[in-house]
Structure 1
């Protein structure tokens, strides 16, 4: 069971408990949308799979650069050209999740950010359905967040798909959400309750840096993520310029050229680190004075990775950072897009206790996630 402070008691994080392995003797299916090069949602699926190692995995398709060695059964969509276009495949996804397999399962757990939560096996009418939600599909329900759904000509198709999304998910017995932000969307869009289980972050890897990395001067600001508009890397450059501090931008994406042009016009050095390895990213976190995160995310794994390195977060007071960053203790939150407001807060960053910042990140570890998932599954399948 989950205690008030978020700790888990009575459930083995590896999936077992006092009565033996979790769901012993029952057939289990794990379902994920599409499996690409490992990202946040894929990491959630893999961590759930660690809790239930005997479960059978299903995906719409897996990309060629996806992690090797996983035993995942692809849907019939994988054998069509539609696997190369998520947008074109979208209208067929609800049908695909209803024609996935003729196998029978006692428990079905989906990892969903589009339509995976609508999965239903016709051969298992009495199955128990649980769904972990990264977000109700943004391009359907929150087009202001995702430009793929903001085109006016998509208004009618979007409404049709919204209706299907609600109608085809009524059989789900229990939802889990990755944050309060997503929990609120599930209630608003689907009129369903959800338990909050924060996604797993590999805090051990980022905290366990070589001694030389721990002794860095922390003399630059850092931005990490995909270089796309809503991540606001352009604002990060403005913040660094207003603060008179060097900036390192780590990641990749379609905005690279525009960001490089902007960086050439400001009065501080801006360094671009394209697709750094995890070890290199850890080194960058440890060398930064603080992480800039002036964007609205559902949860936000990057701030937790930074905090695991003792690096405070300077972020926008919206979304997931309200749950991960303790304002005034592990970072500072700002109610503005004015770069001067962020720059003004930088003078307070050095007064934070970096050991306290590091310790706070442990609440979001993979071990805590596995324990919380095991507790959720045990409660909902008892």
Structure 2
């Protein structure tokens, strides 16, 4: 379940944007982890522009940067790469001193400050920014608990000012969801088109083997606090069903302790391959996703496998799940309400769930990105 594995599946995402074939192009992203949805989007964008230079702040140690053609900033040679919270105030400077080169077109993949990068004068360089979210650490810390780090309390207002001032040169924005488009309007006072991220629905729709019994609940994602895996465990206990938790992250030890205290079996699948993840989706009764997410690729993957989603009625799930048809959206975080929705999954048609997921396929993303880039760079 890594970006590197997914990257090898996006090479056929679409034809390059022919309009830019004779122009110098750079694509940039924040830090590059081996297990993130935003990294998959960045690689999909880069595959549409194969002649583009690829820049990142730094790549995590388990990422083969050279193989992926990633050029790292000077932050990669400092100790700051080990702490995103400490590196955050320095990121705008890193982007402004990334390289001395000038490009005709820059496409940024931004969830912090990548959209502030300057790789040429605005009169010459066309800058398009695909936004996963305005930096939640500074703009909406209540959405992501990591933004409540006391180290960020003092500089938050300053960083907001810097973020606005250093991004005036961006010519056009695309948002990964209606939720993020609304934040761009609210925080940056700019408009954006909505282009949903690419999901490899074909892979997850392909049968992994004989039809399975669908007798367990599933939670998938990074094991970090705001993903609420502790709540997922509580929901499984309230529903009285076994649970499988797939992913990895710093919360593993705490989650294992929580799992040991409940009365239902909880199995941990650490860093499953894409093939194993497909098996897990296809064998699950439902995916539990009780979290406010900007978009949420995981719920779409689950639906591609015919698996309904039980999630929070907010954020990206309002766009990716049809309440009552491809899953159930619950208005609160109370485990009993989610468990009640689990008991209704027999009302859901797996065929309808799979059909809905196809509207988020990679070909749709490629077509929308090509259209957006062409419109903005004519």
- Tell me if TM exceeds 0.5: yes
Distance, in Å, in 1 between the alignment partners of 2:103 and 2:340 is: 56
Q: CA RMSD in A?
A: 1.8
Cα–Cα, structure 1 residues 199 and 67, in superposed 2: closer, same or farther, change >3 Å?
Answer: farther
Task: Give 2:3's aligned residue.
Answer: none
Contact 1:221 / 1:248 at 8 angstroms: preserved in 2? yes
Q: Secondary structure at the match of 1:126?
A: coil
Task: Identify which of 183, 186, 205 aligns with 1:207.
Answer: 205
Task: Identify which of 358, 363, 375 aligns with 1:362.
Answer: 358
Structure 1 residue 153, shift from structure 2 partner: 5.9
> Where in structure 1 do 4 or more consecutive aligned residues deviate above 6 Å?
none
Task: Give 2:75's aligned residue.
Answer: 77
Distance, in Å, in 2 between the alignment partners of 1:149 and 1:343 is: 30
Q: Secondary structure at the match of 2:154?
A: helix
Count of equivalent residues: 365
Distance, in Å, in 2 between the alignment partners of 1:61 and 1:342 is: 39
Confirm whether residue 349 of structure 1 aligns to residue 345 of structure 2. yes
Distance, in Å, in 1 between the alignment partners of 2:295 and 2:346 is: 25
1:196-217: CA deviations, max 9, x gaps? 11111111111112332xx101
Structure 1 spans left out of the alignment, 5+ residues? 1-11
Confirm whether residue 66 of structure 1 aligns to residue 58 of structure 2. no
Task: Identify which of 322, 325, 328 aligns with 2:324.
Answer: 328
Structure 1 residue 243, shift from structure 2 partner: 1.6
Alignment of 1:202-241 (within 5 A): 202-212=200-210, 215-241=211-237
Distance, in Å, in 1 between the alignment partners of 2:142 and 2:350 is: 36
Contact 2:201 / 2:301 at 8 angstroms: preserved in 1? yes
Task: Give 1:4's aligned residue.
Answer: none
Task: Give 1:180's aligned residue.
Answer: 178
Task: Give 1:95's aligned residue.
Answer: 93
Contact 2:122 / 2:169 at 8 angstroms: preserved in 1? no
Structure 1 residue 244, shift from structure 2 partner: 1.6
After TM superposition, the score normalised by the length of structure 2 is: 0.92
Structure 1 residue 194, shift from structure 2 partner: 0.8
Task: Give 2:112's aligned residue.
Answer: 114
Confirm whether residue 51 of structure 1 aligns to residue 36 of structure 2. no
After TM superposition, the score normalised by the length of structure 1 is: 0.91
Contact 1:93 / 1:115 at 8 angstroms: preserved in 2? yes
Structure 1 residue 151, shift from structure 2 partner: 4.2
Task: Give 2:334's aligned residue.
Answer: 338
Q: Secondary structure at the match of 2:269?
A: strand
Q: Secondary structure at the match of 1:350?
A: helix
Q: Secondary structure at the match of 2:311?
A: strand
Structure 2 spans left out of the alignment, 5+ residues? 1-12
Contact 1:45 / 1:111 at 8 angstroms: preserved in 2? yes
Distance, in Å, in 1 between the alignment partners of 2:240 and 2:84 is: 42
Task: Identify which of 121, 130, 133 aligns with 2:131.
Answer: 133
Once the two structures are overlaid, the 10-residue window that deviates more, 45-54 or 62-71, is 62-71
Alignment of 1:244-259 (within 5 A): 244-259=240-255
Distance, in Å, in 1 between the alignment partners of 2:14 and 2:149 is: 44
Task: Give 1:302's aligned residue.
Answer: 298
Task: Give 2:141's aligned residue.
Answer: 143
Contact 2:26 / 2:107 at 8 angstroms: preserved in 1? yes
Distance, in Å, in 2 between the alignment partners of 1:156 and 1:232 is: 27
Distance, in Å, in 2 between the alignment partners of 1:128 and 1:62 is: 26
1:284-325: CA deviations, max 9, x gaps? 111111111111111111101100100000111011110000
Cα–Cα, structure 1 residues 124 and 103, in superposed 2: closer, same or farther, change >3 Å?
Answer: farther
